[in-house]
Amino acid sequence: MSAINIALLGMGTVGTGIVKVLTNNAHSIAQKVGAPVTIKKILVKNPGKARNVTTDAKLVTDFEEILSDPDIKLVAEVMGGEVPAKDYMLAALNAGKHVVTANKDVVAKYGRELFEAAEKSHADFLFEASVGGGIPIIRPLKQCLAANKITEIMGIVNGTTNYMLTKMTNDRMDYAEVLAEAQAKGYAESDPTADVGGFDAARKIAILASIGFGARVTVNDVYIEGITNISIEDIEYAKELGFIIKLLAVAKQDDHGINVRVHPAFVSVNHPLAAVNDVFNAIFVKGDAVGETMFYGRGAGELPTASAVAADIIDVARDIRHNVSSQILCTCFDQKPIYPVSKTESPYYIRLLVEDKPGVLAAIAGAFGAQQVSLHSVIQKRKVEHSTELVLITYRVSDESIRLAMSTLLGMSIVSKVGNVIRVEAEQIS
Amino acid sequence: MSAINIALLGMGTVGTGIVKVLTNNAHSIAQKVGAPVTIKKILVKNPGKARNVTTDAKLVTDFEEILSDPDIKLVAEVMGGEVPAKDYMLAALNAGKHVVTANKDVVAKYGRELFEAAEKSHADFLFEASVGGGIPIIRPLKQCLAANKITEIMGIVNGTTNYMLTKMTNDRMDYAEVLAEAQAKGYAESDPTADVGGFDAARKIAILASIGFGARVTVNDVYIEGITNISIEDIEYAKELGFIIKLLAVAKQDDHGINVRVHPAFVSVNHPLAAVNDVFNAIFVKGDAVGETMFYGRGAGELPTASAVAADIIDVARDIRHNVSSQILCTCFDQKPIYPVSKTESPYYIRLLVEDKPGVLAAIAGAFGAQQVSLHSVIQKRKVEHSTELVLITYRVSDESIRLAMSTLLGMSIVSKVGNVIRVEAEQIS
């Protein structure tokens, strides 16, 4: 069987990884596809640049050379960014070429447009690598869990922040220190906002929620809080209470609709997500039939991401061999209401600095009670000059009620400071 | 689009679950397939039996009624056992019907024959539920990780033994006590041999190894040790040393070939498999590109297993809609040597009862040294009358060397008993 020719857009970290994977495992890949898979052309900025991999592919600087090549049936986009990646993908699909991509930004923002183009051209559009790096999650959600009504997706989907929180937890380093270290190691960018601000995670949970719930969720539907306010005190109190602080990307579905959010959360040490450390990612999925399930692995990096892109390439190549395509395209069949974060409910951890005098606890409990916030536990912690640090865990309560209670508290003279307010999300299962 | 008609063979726990799942989520399943999926007939022993689910399907007692029905394109086998399940599947495939099954026994033993029949008839043959219950693992291995050379698969794939070991670990119950409890709860059969003897896990790892390594591995290739010799002392010593004892199904591939085995193992508390408790299953997979990845969930039960079978049904139904089939059949392309357990290597935990007198430790260390077994650590534990319990952890060593060393030790008058010998398998990652 003659080779299936593909092109790569980009030869950075992931592109190089794909060249390595398709070369190293060429024999088994050819057997799985039923034909060899050959990279014919790679779009690069600078063909003369020294690279740590050799390839027989022609390095080209003009996308037209790929678009107009009828031998190239599949384009793998691994250049990143929105421009010109999205336009290139759209042009390739419109030209009847199959497209696979690792680009979460484009999938989260322009997924619908790309799916429509794919459908019109009877082409495949796959994006396993856009969430969770090498972890199989898109295809499992679209196929293996297809018989379920998915009610909950909770992910640790940003390696940078998970590395930082793990360091803070295990080595008692504070936020600024660990950010500097992560930047020095290349785990965090010089402008770390996309990671620490929760925006990267928000794009990924928008993609997962869209697939899991069968309804389009965009990044604008996601409530976002980052980890910049997490202090070593919060992490220590969490430990004492049997929790670990993680940046969670959460999507839930109930009879009222969908809610999707990214925020730090207290995770029970007995929950499987609690053991996900360093740069590892994991996605916990709950369905009405399957129950609780979790997918764990490396969420980024040259070879893990290449593993996912190459899997998509193999699937498309097999489709080409069998002369079939577009079997699974957009799965956003339904429209579902997205309800605001104010209506979401969970227990909360609250850390307050209050005056150290009799009657204070009663006054605080009263202020919470007035907003129907019941306290599960109250712990008086260390004294700070004339103040005492209070750590409270509430019962399950709405975000709205917590905000009202906190604004009342802030108006009370006995409350000198709100240290932090963090949701308790992943409690123990089984 | 007219409905896709299917038949179930069996209406026990899993069959009932499938009826529920296909009924409850009929709307979304129809959208994913592009046509409704209808159970037209179900093969049962006793059509009059009271059931906790209602169905419009015709309950039949004669398989011929299904086999000869040209409307039925897909047969889902969930009756279990080898006879007559295997013959029915073979007949269905030979008649050009697609087959999905949850039957690990038949897949492990007759996989090749069924694949060949499927290929000849251009039919699909899928078996996601045969390993790990609801956990997506077969399709992820066949597709999502297809670009990898898989080097290692380690699974907790038997819920009964994991429940028992979890109870022994957390509640300090001894083996006999916990077996009785598991039997009372219905987690263990009255004859528990298949579970506690490791035979169920052996079938599952044979299936996973065949797919992961692309070479046929049968249950006869699997070295099997069960959990019947695990004592509460071993579990306590493991804890003290930072390990948890799990029944692991292990398949490894290196340049010498493949080795596949089921045995209890010391798992580092920091390894993701260590947190897999109760009846939960997990499969840890290592590939040359993806690195470490893990799949976690419920390994058995009515709805989790139905989730996996129904996913296969949806895939086949989609294939029928798109008029394509057999895209992914047998993936055992290669022949690879299986090397004997004697050549496998790992660190070992050894518990001995020895005479309590000077020079004993030197004599024992000498006996190990004579077989090139180096000791990582030796701990003298509690005294038992005139004896002392010694707990040793070796460096990485072959099974053969350990066996030789142990037989030398057993011949020494100072050694009164070998308490246990257990492999150390899943050390900390990352």
For A274, list phi and psi in degrees, rounded to 5: -65, -25
- Structural contact between residues A412 and A251, judged by C-beta atoms closer than 8 angstroms: no
Q: Beta partners for A346? A: A397
- Structural contact between residues B101 and B80, judged by C-beta atoms closer than 8 angstroms: no
Using the predicted structure, report yes or no on whether residue B426 has a pLDDT greater than 90. no
Ramachandran class of A13: left when φ > 0, alpha when ψ lies in -120 to 50, beta otherwise: alpha
Using the predicted structure, report yes or no on whether residue B429 has a pLDDT greater than 60. no
Cα–Cα dist A329/A211, whole Å: 11
Minimal C-alpha gap between B249 and chain A (Å): 19
As a whole number, mean pLDDT of residues B217-244 equals 95
Cα–Cα dist B388/B353, whole Å: 6
Q: ipTM of the predicted structure?
A: 0.95
pLDDT at residue number B64 = 98
At A302-338, the pLDDT tens digits run 999 999 999 999 999 999 998 888 788 888 888 899 9
At A25-72, the pLDDT tens digits run 999 999 999 999 999 999 999 999 989 899 999 999 999 999 999 999
pLDDT at residue number B428 = 57
Cα–Cα dist A392/A396, whole Å: 13
Q: Over pLDDT 70: what percentage of chain B? A: 99
Using the predicted structure, report yes or no on whether residue A1 has a pLDDT greater than 80. no
Q: Which residues, other chains included, contact A112 with Cβ-Cβ below 8 Å and sequence gap of 6+?
A: A216, A330, A332
- Structural contact between residues A363 and A412, judged by C-beta atoms closer than 8 angstroms: yes
Using the predicted structure, report yes or no on whether residue B329 has a pLDDT greater than 60. yes
- Structural contact between residues A217 and A206, judged by C-beta atoms closer than 8 angstroms: yes
Q: Beta partners for B380? A: B390
Q: Do B143 and A311 touch (CB under 8 A)?
A: yes
Structure token pair of residue B379: 């701990």
Using the predicted structure, report yes or no on whether residue A384 has a pLDDT greater than 90. no
At B282-314, the pLDDT tens digits run 999 999 999 999 999 999 999 999 999 999 999
Q: Which residues, other chains included, contact A211 with Cβ-Cβ below 8 Å and sequence gap of 6+?
A: A138, A141, A142, A331
- Structural contact between residues B275 and A275, judged by C-beta atoms closer than 8 angstroms: yes
Least CA distance to A20: which residue of chain B? Answer: B289
The CATH class of A147-297 is alpha beta
Return the half-sphere exposure (C-beta side, CA atoms, 13 A cut-off) of residue B22.
35
Share the mean pLDDT of chain B: 94
At B145-165, the pLDDT tens digits run 999 999 999 999 999 999 999
Least CA distance to B333: which residue of chain A? Answer: A31
The CA R_g of chain B, rounded to the nearest whole Å, is 24
Q: Over pLDDT 90: what percentage of chain B? A: 89
At B359-390, the pLDDT tens digits run 898 999 999 999 999 999 888 777 878 889 99
Least CA distance to B325: which residue of chain A? Answer: A322
Is residue B90 classed as helix, strand or coil in its secondary structure? helix
- Structural contact between residues B148 and B288, judged by C-beta atoms closer than 8 angstroms: yes
Using the predicted structure, report yes or no on whether residue A430 has a pLDDT greater than 70. no
As a whole number, mean pLDDT of residues B95-99 equals 98
pLDDT-derived band at B351, boundaries 50, 70, 90: very high
pLDDT at residue number A47 = 93
The packing angle between helices B13-24 and B302-321, to 10°, is 60
CATH number, domain B138-298, options 3.30.360.10, 3.40.1050.10, 3.90.1150.10, 3.40.50.720: 3.30.360.10
pLDDT at residue number A331 = 84
Q: Over pLDDT 90: what percentage of chain A? A: 89
From chain A, pick out residues whose CB is under 8 angstroms from the CB of B267. Answer: none
Q: Which residues, other chains included, contact B184 with Cβ-Cβ below 8 Å and sequence gap of 6+?
A: none
- Structural contact between residues B295 and B272, judged by C-beta atoms closer than 8 angstroms: no
Q: Do A275 and B272 touch (CB under 8 A)?
A: yes
User: Which residues of B are identified as catalytic?
Assistant: 204
Q: Do B311 and A287 touch (CB under 8 A)?
A: no
CATH number, domain B4-134+302-321, options 3.40.50.720, 3.90.700.10, 2.30.30.30, 3.40.50.300: 3.40.50.720
- Domain boundary assignment for chain A: 4-134+302-321, 147-297, 341-425
Is residue A327 classed as helix, strand or coil in its secondary structure? coil
From chain B, pick out residues whose CB is under 8 angstroms from the CB of A39. Answer: none
Give pairs for B114-122: CB < 8 Å, separation 24+: B114/B86, B114/B89, B114/B90, B115/B329, B115/B330, B116/B330, B117/B90, B117/B93, B118/B93, B118/B326, B118/B329, B119/B326, B119/B329, B119/B330, B120/B94, B121/B93, B121/B94, B121/B95, B121/B96, B122/B96, B122/B325, B122/B326
Fold of the B343-424 domain: Alpha-Beta Plaits (3.30.70)
Q: Do A290 and B298 touch (CB under 8 A)?
A: yes
Using the predicted structure, report yes or no on whether residue A428 has a pLDDT greater than 60. no
- Structural contact between residues A111 and A125, judged by C-beta atoms closer than 8 angstroms: no
Fold of the A341-425 domain: Alpha-Beta Plaits (3.30.70)
Q: Do B296 and A25 touch (CB under 8 A)?
A: no
Q: Which residues, other chains included, contact A346 with Cβ-Cβ below 8 Å and sequence gap of 6+?
A: A396, A397, A399, A423, A424, A425
At A167-215, the pLDDT tens digits run 999 999 999 999 999 999 988 999 999 999 999 999 999 999 999 999 9
